[in-house]
């Protein structure tokens, strides 16, 4: 009998930009949900979603906080969509040194959307619930995951690293990562 393939759940928020009216309710509820204690305050600068908002150009685009970037990109992107020009880096999700977006204002620590992880688990992320314009839709899908690497593949990978950097450096890196 064939072994059952491993799967994982991928969580998505589908953004319908045409429906977003720039109300920023998503920012308010996100920052409030992540306040300590929960719901004790709200400050959109602490939200894990920020709305690019230029009412005169009819531009309203929610952007969700993604990974931390330790350094700025060497290149920048500019978008023109339907004749509307967007700021440099407008759609980038990274917390990066080139801008204040997605940084905790007091500590400068990077912010990242955690899909409203809670105990007990919420039925859907709060920004989705609070978006009365239905611009945000939550979706979960099951995807197959790569099989675990075989032990000999791990050995080969480690050996290649050791040939390049030496066993001491590889061991030190593993120790560092275990503690992180």
**Beta strand ranges found along 95-135 (DSSP E):** none
Name the segment binding ligand SF4 (CB under 6 A); options: 82-90, 133-141, 147-155, 160-168: 133-141
Q: Does 114 bind ligand SF4 (CB under 6 A)?
A: yes
Residue pair 25/131 in contact (Cβ under 8 Å)? The answer is yes
CB of 28 to ligand SF4, least distance (A): 8
CA distance 36 to 17: 31
Query: Number of residues in contact with ligand SF4, rule: CB under 6 A?
Result: 28
Name the segment binding ligand SF4 (CB under 6 A); options: 67-75, 131-139, 145-153, 156-164: 131-139
CA atoms within 13 A on the CB side of 79: 9
CB of 108 to ligand SF4, least distance (A): 19
Site string for ligand SF4, 53-72 (x = CB under 6 A): -------x-x-x--------
Q: What does each C-alpha distance from 159 to 8, 147, 149, 151, 171 come to in angstroms?
A: 30, 21, 15, 12, 12
Instruction: Tell me if residue 139 falls in helix, strand or coil.
Output: strand
Name the segment binding ligand SF4 (CB under 6 A); options: 74-82, 122-130, 140-148, 170-178: 122-130
Binding interface with ligand SF4 (CB under 6 A): 20-26, 29-30, 33, 48-49, 51, 60, 62, 64, 113-116, 125-127, 130-131, 133, 135-136
């Amino acid at each position: 009998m064939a072994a059952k393939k491993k799967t994982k759940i991928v969580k998505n928020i589908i953004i319908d930009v045409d429906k977003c009216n720039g109300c920023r309710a998503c920012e308010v509820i996100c920052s409030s949900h992540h306040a300590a204690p929960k719901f004790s305050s709200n400050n959109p600068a602490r939200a894990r979603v920020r709305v690019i908002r230029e009412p005169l150009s009819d531009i309203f685009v929610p952007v969700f906080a993604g990974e931390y970037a330790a350094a700025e990109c060497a290149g920048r992107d500019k978008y023109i969509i339907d004749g509307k020009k967007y700021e440099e880096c407008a759609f980038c999700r990274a917390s990066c040194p080139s801008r204040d977006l997605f940084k905790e204002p007091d500590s400068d620590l990077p912010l990242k959307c955690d899909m409203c992880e809670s105990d007990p688990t919420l039925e859907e992320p709060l920004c989705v619930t609070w978006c009365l314009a239905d611009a945000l839709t939550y979706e979960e899908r099951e995807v197959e995951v790569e099989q675990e690497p075989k032990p000999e593949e791990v050995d080969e990978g480690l050996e290649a690293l050791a040939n390049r950097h030496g066993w001491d450096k590889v061991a030190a890196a593993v120790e560092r990562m275990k503690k992180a």
